[in-house]
């Protein structure tokens, strides 16, 4: 499958739509195929999550060079298309769905007194197929529903007229327990049996409205006749019908060996965007979207027709059917149609959706987004080699050396990425030493990223002047990353920007958007550090106060802290609240300590 391709660094440009994605290595080999409810969120998770501990995943991310994707209608369709692509390409990093199994379907056989059963083998000569179903339990529920609503045989007898007249067969247990009406002995006519098959076919096609209305009428009639048990049984049948899962679009055995082409024009009609879907045995196996430059005076139909011919030649397609959204002149032995309803129309809509997204993406690249403009300004002001898409900022917090903590906030595309924020308890520094604290947390952060082979930021910001910046640089030197990541310090007083090994700061205009972004980073890191520091201080003040009470152990202390969080809230609590939480005897000890002022 060839489709719109991105560099691994452009993953944020993917759409937030369901689809499948493929990863390619440096040899242009597919190494992984996946599905997603949101392509952008799923693919981004490979490059942004800090908890990718799997060795396989780390190796996979390291090998990714290019990304391709295709949009589909739903996550369910994405799963089926993923299944087809994995079987076709056998990517080395795919484990699931790599065998030769397929999703099961339901078959109505073509024999006399047709049977209904599930199968993974599709043979259109044997019957009519519905599905496939990704959820086997749901499929079995459909079969069970049909068998409870209608008396369908499960035996494999060859019920020809001659065999029945010759009385070759005897009714089985299914007849005696009421699940079959005995067509094998001629106890049910073929016409009556086929009525049940027609009703079952309606259910499998998703046309449950007629069946549901019929049951609803029977339910109301039974209730009016005071046959409440019978009415309840119809109600249950209606509920089960409503839970039925209709068939998918991606795999539909009735749409075989067909090409789908759709096109949309740019403003001014200088470009034509075309999407192609290749359908083989009911499944999409190829997709491509391309842009064709054209002259305004050129006939759109002729350009589109030539493109169709060229793409079919490229994919060696000799399919006799073409579905499209634009009327064109047909050629010999090819049937071209513009469907208006049904599954064929849904396929055309799906193809057009991909073409429209490709068109939107092309034009969005030409107009720089506000956030990208902001990052470009920051890149120019700081003379950075790369666009600072990923920025991390550090700050310390303590009161005269007590409860020292630090924070790291992360901005991506100029906006806070709060899931990537980190808190640090200072472990190796005693007393109020901001420089040593900064060295510790920067060293811990990037030694972890280096060890786990995780993505490094495009810029590090240190809240502080030359001293804190020098300490952070020492940490980077020790772990071998100094010079690989741009790092700056921002001093609070005059908003000076310091660079490593340069004692003279630079000043960015107070009106500059890039300075406002750096200030936003610094203020967010400060807020996050202060919040963490207050939480830690409050916890320790409660713990230290409760430790002085004889008879109150660690478990009770932790329970009180979780409930009240601070000494102030503990003192405001009622006697009943304390008794309910820790019991009467311990509550009296706490109340006595509060009364004496010992906490």
Cβ neighbors of 595 (< 8 A, separation 6 or more) are none
**Which of 542-549's residues contact partners 24+ apart within 8 Å by CB, and which partners?**
542/566, 542/567, 542/570, 545/593, 545/598, 545/599, 546/590, 546/599, 548/593, 548/598, 548/599, 549/589, 549/590, 549/593, 549/598, 549/599
Confidence tier at 457 by pLDDT (50, 70, 90): very high
pLDDT of residue 409: 94
What pTM does this model have?
0.38
Residue 444, pLDDT above cutoff 90: yes
Cβ neighbors of 51 (< 8 A, separation 6 or more) are none
Reported CATH class of domain 258-366? alpha beta
pLDDT of residue 249: 47
Residue 80, pLDDT above cutoff 80: no
Q: Identical fold at 258-366 and 374-516?
A: yes
Residue 98, pLDDT above cutoff 60: no
pLDDT of residue 248: 45
Angle CA(512)–CA(517)–CA(519) in degrees, nearest 5? 95
Which comes out higher in pLDDT, residue 362 or 320?
A: 320
pLDDT tens sequence across 477-507: 999 999 899 999 998 777 889 999 887 888 8
pLDDT of residue 446: 94
Lowest-confidence range among 83-87, 302-306, 425-429?
83-87
Average pLDDT, the chain: 81
pLDDT tens sequence across 276-295: 988 876 667 777 888 888 77
Which comes out higher in pLDDT, residue 94 or 175?
A: 175
pLDDT of residue 365: 54
pLDDT of residue 540: 56
Mean pLDDT on 210-224? 84
Mean pLDDT on 406-414? 91
Q: Taking the CA of residue 253 as centre, how many other CA atoms within 13 Å lie in the half-sphere pointing to its CB?
A: 19
Tell me the CATH architecture of domain 4-89.
3-Layer(aba) Sandwich (3.40)
Confidence tier at 1 by pLDDT (50, 70, 90): very low
pLDDT tens sequence across 538-577: 655 555 556 667 777 778 877 777 777 666 777 778 888 8
Which comes out higher in pLDDT, residue 239 or 51?
A: 239
Q: Where are the domains of the chain?
A: 4-89, 105-206, 258-366, 374-516, 548-596
Cβ neighbors of 355 (< 8 A, separation 6 or more) are 262, 263, 264, 273, 274, 275, 289
pLDDT tens sequence across 566-593: 667 777 788 888 888 888 888 888 888 7
> Of 330, 59, 292, nearest to 321 (Cα)?
330
Range 374-516 classified under CATH 3.30.420.340: yes
The answer to whether 21 and 86 have CB atoms below 8 angstroms apart is no
Residue 97, pLDDT above cutoff 50: no
Q: Most confidently modeled of 182-186, 290-294, 327-331? A: 182-186
Determine the Cα–Cα distance for residues 211 and 217; give it in Å rounded to an integer: 10
pLDDT tens sequence across 157-174: 999 999 999 989 999 988
Confidence tier at 113 by pLDDT (50, 70, 90): very high
pLDDT of residue 571: 78
For a pLDDT cut of 70, what percent of the chain falls above it? 84
Tokens coding 194: 């086929």
> Of 151, 184, 181, 152, nearest to 167 (Cα)?
184
């Amino acid at each position: 499958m060839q489709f719109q391709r991105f560099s691994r660094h452009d993953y944020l440009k993917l759409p937030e739509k369901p689809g499948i994605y493929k990863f390619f290595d440096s040899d242009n080999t597919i190494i992984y195929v996946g599905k997603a409810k949101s392509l952008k969120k799923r693919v981004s998770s490979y490059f942004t999550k800090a908890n990718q501990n799997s060795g396989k995943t780390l190796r996979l991310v390291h090998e990714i060079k290019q990304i391709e994707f295709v949009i589909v209608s739903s996550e369910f369709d994405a799963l089926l298309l993923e299944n087809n692509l994995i079987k076709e390409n056998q990517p080395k990093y795919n484990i699931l769905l790599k065998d030769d199994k397929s999703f099961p379907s339901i078959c109505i056989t073509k024999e006399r007194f047709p049977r209904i059963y599930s199968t993974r083998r599709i043979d259109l000569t044997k019957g009519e197929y519905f599905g496939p179903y990704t959820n086997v339990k749901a499929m079995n529920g459909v079969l069970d529903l049909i068998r409870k609503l209608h008396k369908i045989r499960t035996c494999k007898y060859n019920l020809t007229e001659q065999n029945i007249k010759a009385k070759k067969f005897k009714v089985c247990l299914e007849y005696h327990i009421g699940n079959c009406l005995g067509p094998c002995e001629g106890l049910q006519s073929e016409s009556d049996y086929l009525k049940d098959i027609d009703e079952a076919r309606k259910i499998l096609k998703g046309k449950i409205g007629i069946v549901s209305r019929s049951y609803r009428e029977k339910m109301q009639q039974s209730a009016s006749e005071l046959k409440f048990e019978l009415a309840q049984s119809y109600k249950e049948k209606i509920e089960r019908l409503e839970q039925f899962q209709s068939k998918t679009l991606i795999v539909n055995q009735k749409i075989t060996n067909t090409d789908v082409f759709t096109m949309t024009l740019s403003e001014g009609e200088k470009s034509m965007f075309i999407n192609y879907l290749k359908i083989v045995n009911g499944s999409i196996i190829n997709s491509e979207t391309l842009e064709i430059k054209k002259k305004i005076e050129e006939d759109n139909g002729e350009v589109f027709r030539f493109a169709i011919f060229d793409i079919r030649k490229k994919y060696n397609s000799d399919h006799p059917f073409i579905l499209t959204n634009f009327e064109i002149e047909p050629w010999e032995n090819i049937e071209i149609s513009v469907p208006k309803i049904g599954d064929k129309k849904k396929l055309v809509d799906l193809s057009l959706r991909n073409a429209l997204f490709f068109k939107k993406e092309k034009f969005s690249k030409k107009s720089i987004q506000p956030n990208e403009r902001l990052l470009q300004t920051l890149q120019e002001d700081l003379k950075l080699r790369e666009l600072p898409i990923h920025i991390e900022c550090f700050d310390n917090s303590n009161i005269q050396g007590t409860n020292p903590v630090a924070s790291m906030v992360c901005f991506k595309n100029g906006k806070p990425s709060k899931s990537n924020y980190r808190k640090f308890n200072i472990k190796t520094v005693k007393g109020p030493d901001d420089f040593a604290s900064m060295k510790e947390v920067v060293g811990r952060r990037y030694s972890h990223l280096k060890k786990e082979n995780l993505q490094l930021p495009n810029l590090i910001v240190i809240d502080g002047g030359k001293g804190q910046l020098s300490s952070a640089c020492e940490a980077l030197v020790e772990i071998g990353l100094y010079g690989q990541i741009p790092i700056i310090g921002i001093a609070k007083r005059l908003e000076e920007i310091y660079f490593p090994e340069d004692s003279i700061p630079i000043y960015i205009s107070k009106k500059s958007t890039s300075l406002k972004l750096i200030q936003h980073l610094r203020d967010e890191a400060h807020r996050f550090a202060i919040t963490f520091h207050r939480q830690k201080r409050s916890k320790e003040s409660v713990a230290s106060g409760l430790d002085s009470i004889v008879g109150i152990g660690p478990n009770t202390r932790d329970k009180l802290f979780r409930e009240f969080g601070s000494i102030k809230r503990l003192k405001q609590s009622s006697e009943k609240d304390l008794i309910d939480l820790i019991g009467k005897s311990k509550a009296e000890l706490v109340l006595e300590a509060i009364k004496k002022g010992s906490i």
